[in-house]
Structures are given as structure tokens and as C-alpha cells.
Amino acid sequence: MEESDTKQDFSFGVVDSLDVDVLGSLMLVDVSPKGKHFVFFDFSSRGFVFTDDSGEVPHAFSKTGDIPDAHGFLLEFPGFVDENSIALSGMNGIFLYDLKGNMLQRLAHPESLEGASTMSFVGKGMETTRIGGKTFLLSNSVRTRGTYPGEQQFYDSFKALELIDIDRGEFLEIVPFEKGSRFLDGNGYFASDYAPALEAVGDKLYIALGGDPKLYVYTLGSDGAILEKSVSLDIPGFEKLPITSRDEFYEGAMSVKTSTPSLRNIHVVDEYVLIQYYGGFSENKEKEINALMGSGDSKGFLELYNRYEKEVSKGILVLDRKNLHIVGNVPLPEGVNNAGFASSGDYLWMERSGSKEKEEDFLRIYKVKLQKHD
């Protein structure tokens, strides 16, 4: 574990905000590279809403239903490719659209898909980076490779990401379960257990896989990724993933869990790497709520789940970008959506928590700066 001798004191300070006056159920998924545009997912319409940095809504579109440029079931929320276009992953392929909804490009998945699962968090859209002067996408790999999590072959052949050359339309699978990964221990794991959290800055990829508290740093090239360093992370209250026999998995099954420990997102801001973590339920608590759910006691399940959820350890590890030493552990500010946040440049963007007393017809987004206190 890389840890500095002296922990530093950090906090988040609000430097600005914007209000989005749109009816619907919005979630912020990405901010453009220059911080001029924001994209939201609207759970009501299953579409996308774009605002400028004053909160005005110049564009919105939906690509559902039987239309030629429909993305199908959404696998990854959109991320900005540049100031004028986004990329996303759906069952029908990888799609690039401009902000008005015109399709710019469609890339077929390297394998045809029969099913998939997804999880949604604030600020977790598709990643884009520049390598050797070219633009590449980084997308969660959806290949089955002819196997499933009940077989050893799945873990031996696993790759977390696709490095996508937009110009050539080529997919290259990268990031295996590296030596020492807990996912090579002979047990079975669900997709949410190893769901990637990542950030790419130029040819550097920072990535963690779900409930394994390790950060990996790769150097990216057009021909793949080279592992440069891995760091074990000591996170207070970060539970161990439940052990599941491989006999419980079968081919074609898709399942995710939201209560197990995971590293949910990574942001590189200034000279720091920020890792958002969710400590998860203990294995005993997980068994307890699963038993209630299995018994059909939905009310008891929800009450117990919500009580345990409040007890979960949540926060943001702060690592020095140069040496990857842990230099801080910061809770999310009060009054914001603790499911996640977005970043652009040297700033973070957080959703204000909605009022529980009255229905609101706007969403407030805070522009936030990580502050170090001497």
C-alpha cells in the first residue's frame, strides 16, 4: 500500500453554481472538456438534455424506438468527445452524435449482444482520450468470449475495456485481471463486482475494478496498454466482496448488485487522483437483506436496506498524482447527491440533493474546487 507519512487536510469548496429549469428526472453524466456544456440523462424520456454553463437548454434529443440511429438499450451514458459531440454505448453499437442529435458515426460491437446489464452513477459517462494526436474512446467491454462467470476461462480471458480507434473503427480489448487480482481466487463474481472505474489523461489510464481495492496505471498506445504500476488501497470501512460459488452462475445470466463494495469513479484533478468509493454492506448484512427479499417481505427489506445504506462508508480518496501516495480521505459535502460527481479541467461538478419536503422544477449543479489546507 502506498501511503504518505502525513495525511493532508482537504475539503470541497463551492465556487459557482448553475440551475437547470427542466421538468423531468435529470442526472448529470458529463461535462465538456472546456466546461462549457453539460449533458444530462432524463430518466423520464430516456433521452439526453444539454445545457450551456448558464443553465440554458439549447438541445435535447432521444434516440429510442424503431428509428435508424437508435442506440438501443443504453449500456454506457454519453461522454463528450469534444465541445460539439458525444459518444455512448448501446445494444446497437457505439454511437457518436452531435449535440442536436445528428448521428455522426456508428461502430458495431466486436461481438453481437444477446443481453447486458448496466449501472448508473452521476458523472460516469464514456471516456475519451488523445494518444499520438488521435482520438480514442474507452468503453466497457461487452464481449462474452464464448464463456461466462461460472467457468475458469471467463477469468483467464477477461478484459475490462475496449480501446476504440474512431478513425479506423477498430476495437482493441485491454486490462485483464492482473496477477494478484482477487478475481483470480477461484470464486465466482457478478458484473458489478468488477465494474471498472477509470479516467484517461493522454496516454495514461487510471483504472480500478469494482470491489478490488487496487488502482492500476497503464500507458496507452494504439497497439494496447502496458501496466506501469498497481497500488493497494487501504480504505476504512471498505468491506470484502461476498464469496459466491461458481455453481450459482449459468450462461446468459445478467446480474448486478448495488450494495456490495466498489470503487465507483476516478477523476484526475490538478495534481491529484480522486477515487470515489462505496464501502458496501458487510457479508452478514447482505445475507440478512437477501433473506428478507427472498421471503417476500418487501417493506421489511426496504426499511432494513435503507438503514444499512446510511451506515455504509462513503468518500473520496485523494492520491498524489506523481507517486500515488494516499494524502487524504474526504467525505462528500452535505446536501449533494452522494452517488457521484463529474469533473472537467480542475473542477468538480456535483448535484444538489433535491428537497424531500416539496417537489422542485429545477436541478442545481455546484461547481466545486478541491481545497488543501495547510
The residue written with cell numbers 433521452 in the block is 47
Please say whether the beta carbons of 314 and 333 come within 8 A: no
C-alpha distances (whole Å) from 256 to each of 119, 192, 207, 216 are 8, 5, 20, 23
In the chain, alpha helices (H): 152-157, 283-295, 298-311
| Predicted local confidence at residue 7, as pLDDT | 60
pTM value is 0.94
323-341 as b/e, with b when 16 or more CB fall inside 10 Å?
Answer: ebbbbbbbebbeebbbbbb
Three-state secondary-structure class, residue 84: coil
Q: How far apart are CA 254 and CA 177, in angstroms?
A: 20
Answer for the pair 311, 305: CB distance below 8 angstroms, yes or no: no
- Counting other chains too, the contacts that 368-371 makes at CB distance below 8 Å and 24 or more residues apart are 368/12, 368/13, 368/14, 368/15, 368/333, 368/341, 369/12, 369/13, 369/15, 370/10, 370/12, 370/269, 370/270, 370/272, 370/274, 370/318, 370/330, 371/10, 371/11, 371/12, 371/13
Cell (9 digits) for 338: 452522494
**288 three-class SS:** helix
Q: What's the pLDDT score for residue 6? A: 45
| Rounded Cα gap, residues 309 and 281, in angstroms | 8
| Nearest to 216, CA basis, from 266, 256, 156 | 266
* Residue 342 Cα to chain centre, angstroms: 10
- Cβ atoms of 248 and 181 within 8 Å: the answer is no
**Across the 374 residues of the chain, what is the mean pLDDT of every consecutive 10-residue run?**
56 93 86 95 92 94 94 94 96 97 96 74 88 96 94 97 96 97 96 95 97 98 96 96 91 84 95 96 89 88 92 95 96 87 93 72 91 86
Q: CATH classification of 9-373, choosing from 3.40.50.1100, 1.25.40.10, 2.120.10.30, 3.10.310.30?
A: 2.120.10.30
Query: Residue 307 is which amino acid?
Result: R
Residue type, 148: Y
Distance in angstroms (rounded) separating the CA atoms of residues 80 and 98: 10
Locate the domains of the chain by residue range.
9-373
